[in-house]
Amino acid sequence: MTRRIVLRPAAEADINAAAAWYQEQSPLTAARFWRAVEEKLQLLRENPFQYQRVIGRARRALLRDFPQALFYIATDDEIVVVACTHGRRHPKRWQDRVVE
């Protein structure tokens, strides 16, 4: 079963902000970041339960070659991405977005 990906507005803003930062550093790096996000979203579609739970039902999927992670909640029908956060950011930045 393939679940639908839902990006909450805050998660979409996180991804866009990180991509913009990488774009300032290097357009090539920004393109690699977008590819890493897309690849991870595809992996989540295929098997959302492969990543560990970090709080409640929220799980963390690290992006390859980047210090960011996608935080998400998997249900029977969809995968709700609640945040894309740098690993050095305080966890409260995304934990407040998780609704049980």
Say what the pLDDT of residue 95 is.
Answer: 54
pTM for the model stands at 0.86
Sign of the alpha-carbon dihedral angle for 35, 36, 41, 47? positive
In the chain, where are the structural domains located?
4-95
User: Under CATH, which number does the domain 4-95 receive?
Assistant: 3.30.2310.20
| Confidence check: pLDDT of 99 > 60 | no
Are the C-beta atoms of residues 83 and 94 closer than 8 Å to each other? Answer: yes
Say what the pLDDT of residue 14 is.
Answer: 94
| Confidence check: pLDDT of 96 > 70 | no
Average pLDDT, the chain: 88
Residues 63-83 pLDDT 10s: 999 999 999 999 889 999 999
